[in-house]
Chains A and B, each alone.
Chain A
Amino acid sequence: MTAAITTFHPPLAQPGYRLFDGPLRDVTDAHADQIGVVGMPSDWTHSSRLGTRFGPEALRRATSLLQSLRPQGASFDPDTSLHTVPATDWLIDCGDAEITAQDVDATTEAIAAMTEMLTVAGAIPLALGGDHYNSFPACLGYSRGLAKRAPNARFGYIQIDGHLDFSDRLGAWGSHNHATNARRISELPNTDVSNMVWIGITGWVDGGDLVLIEEQGGRVFSAGDVQKLGAAEVMRQALAHAMQGCHELYLSIDIDAMDAGYLPGTGSIVHSGITPRQYYDLLDGLAEAPLGGLDIVEVSPPLDPSQRTEFLSAEMLFRVLRRFRTRPVTGPVTEQ
């Protein structure tokens, strides 16, 4: 009996999952160079298969599990031999924005208010979707916050996606939905289409949208371009294009750019041929990029009974946040 008592471990200080098992904090607690996580459990702005409203919780669960497999001081990042560090100082999870189904204005403003506050504080908002529409309010708040923090600063934009999402309107859904988010972002005052880049586009796209993008100087890399040029080279070119005359980068990660054979748990599947390794190579190319804000969207756990979608997506976050969550090895590694 005594042994049982002495081996008792206290429960978690906070119930539920937070991204990377990080601390739960209010957006007002954020400070500079910290990742501030905002959940966007909303999928009613998607036009076909729903379920992404369960995405934020799945990402929190998956990153927490993966983080637990990489304890401090006991694991290397296999590609860089850097230490993994716990999410105690570099990340705070601010919980979910208030979603008001069927009220696009209320939902948009609720999300934007959180990412704006984080940005004003100098933190980097990381928004968890949700369908891809929610990328717009996340970026809207970032744009507003950037305008307050650095009035003359401009941001470049990279969207990894199987689709352009550059329509002005979509059928019954109007102007604010998962097919118009990039168009709405292009209308923000501190960015420009000439600093917008799309990567992983596959299949058919609307020709008018493509013309509009390219005539205004935007750049589109198809999934075939990733195959031909290589993921690292595509991202190198994309970053150079997006950052021309810009101070920061906003990144939108739509998981559906990955081939649906590997990653079926998303609303708008495509067979892009992009493998998990290629997707991770793309994100590795952003490890040192001047990220101002980012989102990851379209994780739909109900559409993938195997759950591999949420773990592949969690690994995407491990990749793109490498410089935050790892430290150089300065001495011998010991178990802790």
Chain B
Amino acid sequence: MPLRSAPLPRMAGHLSFMRAQTKAIGDVRPGDLAVLGVPFEDTSAPHAGQSLAPRAFRETSVYFGWHANPQFSHPVDIDARQDISTEGLHERLCDLGDIAPGSEDAIHASLEAATSQISRNDACAIILGGSDRMSETVQSALPNCQTAQLGGTPDDARDFHVAPLPNGRGTPCNMDTAAQRATFSRWRDPSRPLFVRFDLSVFETPLSALCDQPRLGGCDLETVMQWLELLGQQEVSAIMLTGLNPNRPGMGVVKVGQRLMVTALLAFIYARLGFGIENPGRQTSKEYVLT
């Protein structure tokens, strides 16, 4: 029974990502999207507060779980004029909770074990960071994986980078669909696991007020959503959200960064669930059009 079926006010009730059902990690099934929080603070970060990001993501995500509240008839994406299916969300999105606090070594070990177990179950981990230092741990849990990175500082030239920091070479942030999809297709090796790093710094600074790494340029929301939709059509083993500090000095009441990232993440989630994709065996959004 999904928690969100109760007609609760948004701020009431048990907090889970998009009001999804909670599960133990052992119950994750193939095809699930398993949300996992890593409230880990990088003590060398310029501001304290990264560890509060997982909770901030969950809090803002309830707005999007709220659309499945039975007092509403059915949610519609107003721009696309398409119904949003909630059936698949109920069945396949689940929240596993957070990695327990502890020593840094213990946190790394727990995250590696959890990511590995989710991957072995043929599910996709949606990891709510936290510090991007944890991304190395996720990579180590996915042997021989490829990494696609949105924003953030590049670590490895073999990764696929979208709008990396710093943007000194003037990398265009607008998505040239044909050219960049072709580049991505050439880069992607389907025989290897895919890990997506989604850092808040991929957005242009005016939209991401809470990023610890402000930048010139950056992508708009639509472009990031296009990328995440494309990535969501792949068999992604894990996606990790990083770069949000919901507690920047004096900005604790501003909820912009988390809403921006979760809004974009929906494109990935819907693509992973098969909504809007002409793929036999998967439900398309057309099947849900009621209007």
**Which A positions have Cβ atoms within 8 angstroms of B?**
47-49, 167, 169-173, 201-211, 220, 222-225, 259-262, 264, 269-271, 273, 302-305
- Expressed in whole angstroms, the minimum distance between the Cβ of B241 and any Cβ of chain A is 15
**Cβ contacts under 8 Å, B78 to chain A:** 201-205, 210, 220, 222-224
Contacts A211-B291, A264-B209; is A269 near B75 (CB within 8 Å)? Answer: no
CA distance A201 to B76 in the complex (A): 11
In chain B, positions 226-285 with a C-beta closer than 8 Å to chain A are 250-251, 253-256, 259-260, 263
CA distance A302 to B222 in the complex (A): 29
Q: Is the CB of B10 within 8 A of A48?
A: yes
**Cβ contacts under 8 Å, B74 to chain A:** 206-208
Of the candidates B9, B64, B253, the one whose C-beta lies within 8 Å of that of A172 is: B9
Interface presence of B67 (CB below 8 A): yes
CA distance A273 to B223 in the complex (A): 12
CA distance A204 to B75 in the complex (A): 6
- Expressed in whole angstroms, the minimum distance between the Cβ of B289 and any Cβ of chain A is 9
Residue of B nearest to A262 (CB): B206
**Cβ contacts under 8 Å, A49 to chain B:** 255
Residue of B nearest to A261 (CB): B207
Of the candidates A172, A173, A225, A304, the one whose C-beta lies within 8 Å of that of B254 is: A304
CA distance A223 to B79 in the complex (A): 7
Q: Is the CB of B221 within 8 A of A273?
A: yes
- Expressed in whole angstroms, the minimum distance between the Cβ of B64 and any Cβ of chain A is 7
- Expressed in whole angstroms, the minimum distance between the Cβ of B251 and any Cβ of chain A is 6
CA distance A173 to B71 in the complex (A): 12
- Expressed in whole angstroms, the minimum distance between the Cβ of B66 and any Cβ of chain A is 9
**Cβ contacts under 8 Å, B179 to chain A:** none
Query: What 7 A-B pairs are tightest by C-beta distance, nearest first?
Result: A208-B73, A261-B207, A224-B79, A207-B74, A207-B76, A204-B75, A206-B72
- Expressed in whole angstroms, the minimum distance between the Cβ of A221 and any Cβ of chain B is 10
Interface presence of B93 (CB below 8 A): no
Q: Is the CB of A171 within 8 A of B73?
A: no
Interface presence of B87 (CB below 8 A): no
Contacts A210-B76, A222-B78, A271-B207; is A169 near B71 (CB within 8 Å)? Answer: yes
Contacts A171-B9, A203-B263, A304-B254; is A259 near B75 (CB within 8 Å)? Answer: no
**Cβ contacts under 8 Å, A205 to chain B:** 75-76, 78
Interface presence of B212 (CB below 8 A): no
Interface presence of B101 (CB below 8 A): no
CA distance A303 to B290 in the complex (A): 37
Beyond the given A48-B9, A49-B255, A203-B78, please list 6 additional residue pairs across the A-B interface where CB-CB is below 8 A.
A202-B79, A204-B76, A222-B79, A260-B256, A261-B260, A302-B253
Contacts A47-B10, A261-B208, A273-B221; is A207 near B83 (CB within 8 Å)? Answer: yes
**Cβ contacts under 8 Å, B71 to chain A:** 169-171
Q: Is the CB of B9 within 8 A of A208?
A: no
Main secondary structure of the interface of B (DSSP, over half): loop
- Expressed in whole angstroms, the minimum distance between the Cβ of A171 and any Cβ of chain B is 5
Q: Is the CB of B79 within 8 A of A260?
A: no
Q: Is the CB of B254 within 8 A of A210?
A: no
Q: Is the CB of B10 within 8 A of A261?
A: no
Of the candidates B73, B76, B259, the one whose C-beta lies within 8 Å of that of A269 is: B259
- Expressed in whole angstroms, the minimum distance between the Cβ of A147 and any Cβ of chain B is 33
Residue in B71, B73, B79, B255 whose Cβ sees the most chain A Cβ within 10 Å: B79
Q: Could you pull out 29 A-B pairs where Cβ atoms are within 8 angstroms?
A: A48-B9, A48-B11, A49-B255, A171-B7, A171-B9, A201-B78, A203-B78, A204-B67, A204-B75, A204-B76, A206-B67, A206-B75, A207-B74, A207-B291, A209-B73, A210-B76, A211-B291, A220-B78, A222-B78, A260-B256, A261-B209, A262-B206, A264-B256, A270-B259, A271-B260, A273-B220, A302-B253, A303-B253, A305-B251
CA distance A47 to B7 in the complex (A): 13
CA distance A209 to B254 in the complex (A): 29
CA distance A73 to B141 in the complex (A): 70
Interface presence of B119 (CB below 8 A): no
Q: Is the CB of B73 within 8 A of A264?
A: no
CA distance A164 to B75 in the complex (A): 12
**Cβ contacts under 8 Å, A269 to chain B:** 255-256, 259
CA distance A302 to B251 in the complex (A): 10
**Cβ contacts under 8 Å, B8 to chain A:** 171
In chain B, positions 55-70 with a C-beta closer than 8 Å to chain A are 64, 67, 69
Q: Is the CB of B259 within 8 A of A208?
A: no
CA distance A291 to B10 in the complex (A): 36
**Interface mask (B1-22 → A, CB under 8 Å = 1, otherwise 0):** 0000001111100000000000
Interface presence of B155 (CB below 8 A): no
Q: Is the CB of A204 within 8 A of B77?
A: yes
Q: Is the CB of A271 within 8 A of B263?
A: yes
Of the candidates B9, B10, B255, the one whose C-beta lies within 8 Å of that of A264 is: B255
**Cβ contacts under 8 Å, A172 to chain B:** 9
**Cβ contacts under 8 Å, B76 to chain A:** 204-207, 210
- Expressed in whole angstroms, the minimum distance between the Cβ of B218 and any Cβ of chain A is 11
Interface presence of B165 (CB below 8 A): no
**Cβ contacts under 8 Å, B250 to chain A:** 305
Of the candidates B84, B220, B256, B291, the one whose C-beta lies within 8 Å of that of A204 is: B84
**Cβ contacts under 8 Å, B260 to chain A:** 260-261, 271
**Interface mask (B150-182 → A, CB under 8 Å = 1, otherwise 0):** 000000000000000000000000000000000
CA distance A22 to B11 in the complex (A): 40
Of the candidates A169, A171, A207, the one whose C-beta lies within 8 Å of that of B75 is: A207
CA distance A47 to B260 in the complex (A): 21
- Expressed in whole angstroms, the minimum distance between the Cβ of A268 and any Cβ of chain B is 8
